[in-house]
Amino acid sequence: MALYDYDLFVIGGGSGGVRAARMSSGYGAKVAIAEEYRWGGTCVIRGCIPKKLLVYASHVREEIADAAGFGWSIEEAHFSWPKLIENKDKEIARLSRIYVDLLLKSKVQVMEARARVVDPHTVELDGKPVTARHILIATGGHPERPPIPGIEHSITSNEAFHLPHLPKRVAVVGGGYIALEFAGIFNGLGAKAHLLYRGEPVLRGFDDDVRKFVSAEIKKKGIDLRTRTEVEAIEKMDGTLRIKLKGGETLEVDQVLYATGRVPNTRDLGLEAAGVAVNRKGAVEVDGHSKSSVENIYAIGDCTDRLNLTPVAIKEAMAFADTVFGGKPWAMDHENVPHAVFCQPPIATVGMTEGDARSDGRRLDIYKAEFKPLKHTLSGSTERTFMKLVVDRGSQVVLGVHMVGADAPEIIQSLAVAVKMGATKAQFDQTVALHPTAAEEFVTMRTPEPEKVAEAAMPATA
């Protein structure tokens, strides 16, 4: 008779949890997985996928305007927010069903219920105890809003995907990637978008040149970017929302979206009672192999608050399954992970920022390029592209690659391979350019910035 009901019990049906369950089952483990809401997690249901679909929609207005420079005349274009949301919902439902189908085909027992940890080997579902040799926490995270007066009148990115109509005036509060993306979506679809951020410039943690460049570009597109701006209260009056800003100024809008941070979904999960250590933010504390303070309980993805990216959660899941059930131990490498921000224009980056490299005591060669893309020589758009290479002066290894401009995420994905392999600037230079493309600039930069300019660059503290 088996000592436990399952070899592995996974809590959370997002990308990381589903991948871990499927791979572990493939190694012969008896696996069950529980999800209390919808299969697919943040990325599929209320994150990456629906957001990118809305980003595509928000590009169309500019594309119609650009078309005139290429001889096209497009008359009487109309946009329907309800139709966009309806089509988005259909696609999300399709993807969610695929997740369930993949689990069933992998012989994983699927349970639609809230699961709580009772002890190191027991999980409770709707009052029924289930035992497992190993437990994996993959519950993700959720948006958090500050406790200011009137915060109940605001929404988060979760609710933004289900608004019944497109608001005419929107205030997005925050300066991270979610805030920039939604400001771009609303602005592109025709709303008046205000972006309110208490720091300066936006996108703390990104390269300073990228931060300054994208700030200027989104302003050119009509987004009202206000830095060093704090919201003190929100009042609902006569069908509109009045935002009180620190300093006495007010702003009237139809919708307020908060994108000021996310926290792990670990509350009331029973982790502390089972002996699992969490930090003050609620993130599960894990080692390099995603093992918690309890020997047989692991955690991956956003609930660990390491790098909150879907592909990272999937990699962590693969490392977990290979290590625990596959007999092929390895640890996820969180260095040189590429990032993308689907604002307008988009941002993509991999490796070290200039500020981080200098703080690390490195002497650097900095290469930059800024230009008008070929497309916009006819479109009439003033949008520009920015590229940057951060190179270690002694070894000439490319430490970081940064880009703001059309197709940046597609371009940086390939360059992430080179950075991960430790490519040098000489190897970039030896690569033949693909012409005419924006990407060719990364292999044709020849002159580094003058020393005095480069050495003066310091990381922003906001």
User: What pLDDT, in 10s, does the model give residues 57-66?
Assistant: 999 999 999 9
Catalytic residue among 134, 142, 376, 435: 435
Helix (H, G, I), strand (E, B) or coil at 77: coil
**pLDDT at 461 (0 to 100):** 43
Residue in the block written with tokens 């289930």: 130
**pLDDT at 451 (0 to 100):** 81
6-142+263-324 and 151-259 share one CATH topology? Answer: yes
Share of residues in the chain with pLDDT > 70 (%): 97
**pLDDT at 1 (0 to 100):** 59
**pLDDT at 462 (0 to 100):** 45
| Residue 174, Ramachandran bin (φ over 0: left; ψ between -120 and 50: alpha; else beta) | left
**pLDDT at 452 (0 to 100):** 63
Q: CA nearest 188: which of 226, 218, 160? A: 218
pLDDT, the chain, mean: 95
pLDDT for 454 beyond 90 = no
Q: Reply yes or no on whether 435 is catalytic.
A: yes
Count the residues in the chain.
Answer: 462
Q: What is the mean pLDDT of residues 273-295?
A: 96
**pLDDT at 455 (0 to 100):** 56
Q: What is the pLDDT of residues 343-356, one digit of tens each?
A: 999 999 999 999 99
Q: What is the mean pLDDT of residues 369-380?
A: 96
Q: What is the pLDDT of residues 34-53, one digit of tens each?
A: 999 999 999 999 999 999 99
Residue 389: how many other CB atoms lie within 10 Å: 26
**pLDDT at 76 (0 to 100):** 87
> Which residue did the predictor score with more confidence, 461 or 200?
200
**All structural domains of the chain with their residue ranges:** 6-142+263-324, 151-259, 345-456
Residue 58: how many other CB atoms lie within 10 Å: 23
pLDDT for 141 beyond 60 = yes
Q: Is the peptide bond before 143 cis (omega within 30 degrees of 0)?
A: no
Q: What is the mean pLDDT of residues 291-307?
A: 97
- Write the single-letter amino acid at 95: L
pLDDT for 267 beyond 70 = yes
Inter-residue contact 286 to 292 (CB < 8 Å): yes
Place 457 in a pLDDT band, splitting at 50, 70 and 90. low
- For 333-444, list the strands marked E by DSSP: 339-341, 347-351, 364-371, 385-392, 398-404
Inter-residue contact 300 to 289 (CB < 8 Å): no
CATH topology of domain 6-142+263-324: FAD/NAD(P)-binding domain (3.50.50)
CATH superfamily, domain 345-456, is: FAD/NAD-linked reductase, C-terminal dimerisation domain (3.30.390.30)
Q: Domain 151-259's class?
A: alpha beta
